Amino acid sequence: MAFPACLLLFFLQLFSALYLSLAQDQSGFITLDCGSPRGTTFRERTTNLTYISDANFINTGVGRGIQQAYRTQFQQQAWNLRSFPQGIRNCYTLNLTTGDKYLIRASFLHGGYDDKPSTEFELHLGPNLWTKVSTTNETQASVNEMIHVLTTDRLQICLVKTGNSTPFISALELRKLMNTTYLTQQGSLQLFIRADVGATVNQGYRFGIDVFDRVWTPFNFGNWSQISTNQTINVNNDYQPPEIAMVTASVPTDPDAQMNITLVEVERNVRFYVFMHFAEIQELKSNETREFNIMYNDKRIYGPFRPRSFTTDSVFTPTEVVADANGQYTFSLQRTGNSTLPPLLNGIEVYSVKLLPEQETDIKEVDAMMNIKSGYGVNKIDWEGDPCVPRAYRWSGVNCSYIDNEKPNIISLNLSASGLTGEILEFISDLTKLEVLDLSNNTLTGSVPEFLADMKTLKLINLSSNELNGSIPETLLDKARRGSISLSIEDNTGLCSSGLCATTKKKKKKNTVIAPVAASLVSVFLIASGIVTFLILKRKKRAKLGLNPNSGTGTTPLHHHGYESPVISKNRKLTYIDVVKITNNFERVLGKGGFGVVYYGVLDNQPVAVKMLTESTALGYKQFKAEVELLLRVHHKDLTCLVGYCEEGDKLSLIYEFMANGDLKEHLSGKRGPSILTWEGRLRIAAESAQGLEYLHNGCKPQIVHRDIKTTNILLNEKFQAKLADFGLSRSFPLGTETHVSTVVAGTPGYLDPEYYRTNWLTEKSDVFSFGVVLLELVTNQPVIDQKRERPHIGEWVGLMLSRGDINSIVDPKLQGDFDPNTIWKVVETAMTCLNPSSSRRPTMTQVVMDLKESLNMEMARNMGSRMTDSTNNSSIELSMNFTTELHPGAR
């Protein structure tokens, strides 16, 4: 009987890959054998992956081994495991790099290490639930994969006890991926299935064949036929699917049938991203064509598509796909009328969207707590993972602040009676929001450090019953006398609160009686002195600022148009002389801002933009005050950043980060030169500025309405990142039942919401209207108001053109047709809904951001040479999560 050629080809490639994998690059890999003794290193014989002990990445748990009888059934990394009989949450900590993208794989095999093979516990990624892990017997392996972008330089993977079961883990593996792959609009990606469609053997494979160590499972189906080639396939795109997967493919057995792929055993609310890999692996004759559309639930999302000969194209959904009304998730490859050949498919990856809503504690505070933990050798069983989140697993002795859309901060640290020795660690000063510090009833030595007095938020310090010595810092004592901090220092025998220390117990006892009386007298004297000093200083300050000390209230500034001075404390304050110096005596004018001239300057060797308030601006000071107060509490990557300010008499200025590429209007009009913003560039600018505006509407409390959204207020930095600017007209209004504010109408003609103009009722939907105008400018590059047009306003003109079915006539000719028409339609559609005369029928900025991100992803995919997808039905297969584990020794 002849040996099939396709099988011979497969095994030749397999053995070749085995040989090559000996030297294949494992950089960017972290490969941990959990539970093996510290210092263990071995090369797994079937994958040639080098495993090391996990002991350097975790401080808890005990190493165990599976039963000898099961070892021959599984790869070596499954022979050991780490069990966690103590504690609720136990965590691995890995120091990585923010922004890197990793495939993370956790494997679990009980192997009879104890007498309870039926287990259930949780696996967490940082403070967020990743998945629930369960095993029912000794040999049932559980493997979980996640693709995740790091939000900090530290990654924690935690096992959490939820019942009577003991959590355990066999292997933990991280594989660095290219950041241009597996893009999502939100969340991370949890593997649902990764299939080699058309494989000629029923054996999975991974590293040595796949450079990223993705585990591939063969899928063959009776109603599909398999084809293969012995030619080389180019797989050098960003996804780099393994060549063994690409030299084979499936086609429908009936050449007129479509190929249907249905996801089953799925809850209706699950959202997916799908990645398909295609290559034409047959030599087509001159009269042959393979062309098909990619459908999702009977809607075309990409096509017609022709796979390239012996070259890989990776096609993916640019946005999440959801179930239809019947709960169906069905992709289809449908042959077009021009095609003489049926569709084909080489490989497919399906991932569900995993939202990770819990924000981790500020990384500096986590670092501080880790240093405190190691510095004092704190041995608390629940001091694992994030100190603040989830709240149910917050560290004992730690209390945190929880504010929506903000990272938690540690506000209280109680280490009383925790067996602390040594000096008071300076790491405590890194807890910048700390209000309560209790270090009492320990054996701390050394002096009371000065940094405790410098911690601005501290309200209570308890250092009693320790062995501290020396003098207490005068600044700290002064705070205690003034009542701004509560300080407890009793029962520290060597500690002095003045230059002279008590030397005998008798004196000490006497002092305990005298001290409260003396403290009371001192307090009265200090309070009286403080009042007198305050009045004197206040009077001097008024005189310095040019206030009238003889006026009835004494509160009216001479040059500030009747508004009180804002409280500014968080940003750098400059003198007017400083402003003159950094602008080189106002040498270079950048433009006109909302209430004055903007100059170029250099501050600390960094370029800045200096916005000066002119004396002739009637509402200047009010706007200055509004802008400063807003910028002090508004921080977002898509909003301009305040780096300093000047408030000296009538000399008022704001110092911003310098935006090297000016404003959007300049680029659309050609004032910045002949270089043209591409459609992808315009979409990116639209998405980034929309995110900034969405943050003002939803990320700020109280909510902020910008009131002057326009292309001149969208600035571009040296990397062409867009940032919203000019909060001079911004208005914040309360949350709750009040949905509008009656206010004096302000804004720019053409961008101004007609409903706001008519009613004087300001809502965030007024910004939405203005942003819709900006979107039309990006598409058309036409003036907002043009009396020469049939309809002067850009919104009315575009509406007229669309009513005639003529979208090409509105697109900026400078784009020269280099765009996906579908994205043009989508952006125009979004813009027109923003311009709805009724504000209640306009979308929110959250909806606008989602629409723009979808369009941007589609355009990025087109420009990268990647393809996009969606699907429908006839020659069908069903995919579920049931696939072979890679822990078996033959899994290649």
Residue 731 has pLDDT above 90, yes or no: no
**Which of 452, 470, 393 has its CA nearest to residue 122?**
393
- The conformation of residue 114, written as its DSSP 8-state character, comes to S
Residues 132-176: pLDDT tens digits? 999 999 999 999 999 999 999 999 999 999 999 999 999 999 999
Asked about 708 being catalytic, the answer comes back as yes
* Residue range 691-709: mean pLDDT, rounded: 85
Domains of the chain as residue ranges with CATH: 28-177 (2.60.120.430), 194-356 (2.60.120), 363-501 (3.80.10.10), 559-658 (3.30.200.20), 661-843 (1.10.510.10)
Q: pLDDT value at position 614?
A: 66
3 state DSSP class of 479: helix
Kindly report which listed range (189-203, 368-382, 436-450, 521-535) carries the lowest average pLDDT score: 521-535
DSSP 3-state of 779: helix
Q: How confident is the model at residue 469 (pLDDT cuts 50, 70, 90)?
A: very high
pLDDT at 203: 81
412-455 pLDDT per residue, tens = 999 999 999 999 999 999 999 999 999 999 999 999 999 999 99
The residues, ordered by sequence, that sit 6+ positions from 587 with a Cβ below 8 Å of its Cβ are 599, 600
Q: Residue 517: which residues within 8 A CB-CB, separation 6 or more?
A: none
Output the CA torsion sign for 380, 384, 389, 390.
negative
Please list, in sequence order, all residues whose beta carbon lies within 8 angstroms of the beta carbon of residue 757, skipping any fewer than 6 positions away.
745
- Do 682 and 778 contact (CB within 8 A), yes or no? yes
Residue 594's pLDDT band (cuts 50, 70, 90): low
Task: Report residue 548 CA to chain centroid gap.
Answer: 52
Q: Can you point out the beta strands (E) in 96-150? A: 101-108, 119-125, 128-135, 142-149
Give residue 804's pLDDT. 75
Q: Is the pLDDT of residue 7 over 50?
A: no
User: Which of the pair, 568 or 313, is modelled with greater confidence?
Assistant: 313
289 Cβ contact partners less than 8 Å away, ≥ 6 residues apart: 306, 338, 339, 340, 341
> Which two three-digit tokens encode residue 714?
């969208």
In the structure encoding, which two tokens stand for residue 304, read together? 């017609």
What pLDDT shows up at residue 516?
47
**For the chain, the helix, strand and coil percentages under 3-state DSSP, each to the nearest 5:** 25, 25, 45
Q: Please say if the pLDDT value at position 207 is more than 70.
A: yes
pLDDT band (50, 70, 90) for residue 574: confident
State pLDDT tens for residues 853-890. 888 888 887 775 433 333 333 456 566 544 445 676 65
Q: In this structure, which amino acid lies at residue 877?
A: I
Alpha-carbon span 840 to 857, nearest angstrom: 28
For the beta sheet containing 486-488, the strands, ordered from the edge strand earlier in sequence to the opposite edge, are: 398-401, 409-414, 436-438, 460-462, 486-488
d(CA 828, CA 852): 11
Q: How far is 113 from 70, CA to CA, in rounded Å?
A: 10
Q: Which residues contact 848 (CB under 8 A, 6 or more apart)?
A: 690, 694, 768, 771, 830, 834
Whole-number Å distance between alpha carbons of 652 and 485: 35
Main-chain dihedrals φ then ψ at residue 195, nearest 5 degrees = -125, 135
Annotated ligand binding at 611? The verdict is: yes
Nearest-angstrom CA–CA distance, 567 and 175: 49
Tokens of residue 454, six digits: 């410098």
For the cut 80, the answer to whether the pLDDT of residue 538 exceeds it is no
Q: What is the reported pLDDT for 889?
A: 65
| Residue for token pair 């950043």 | 641
Per cent of the chain over pLDDT 70 is 80
Q: What average pLDDT does this structure show over 16-32?
A: 67
What is the CA 123 to chain-centroid distance, rounded? 21
609: nearest Cα among 670, 644, 543, 657: 657
Q: What is the pLDDT of residue 268?
A: 86
pLDDT tens per residue, range 764-782: 898 999 999 999 999 999 9
- The active-site residue, picked from 578, 708, 726, 851, is 708
**Rounded to whole angstroms, how far apart are CA atoms 277 and 349?**
8
Local confidence band at 627 (pLDDT 50, 70, 90 cut-offs) = low
Q: Tell me: cis bond preceding 390? Omega within 30 of 0 counts.
A: yes
- Averaged confidence pLDDT in the chain: 83
SS3 for 100?
Answer: coil
How far is it, in rounded angstroms, from Cα 317 to Cα 295?
11
Query: CB–CB of 389/226 below 8 Å?
Result: no
A 10 A CB-CB count for 720 gives 14
CB 574 within 8 A of CB 644: yes
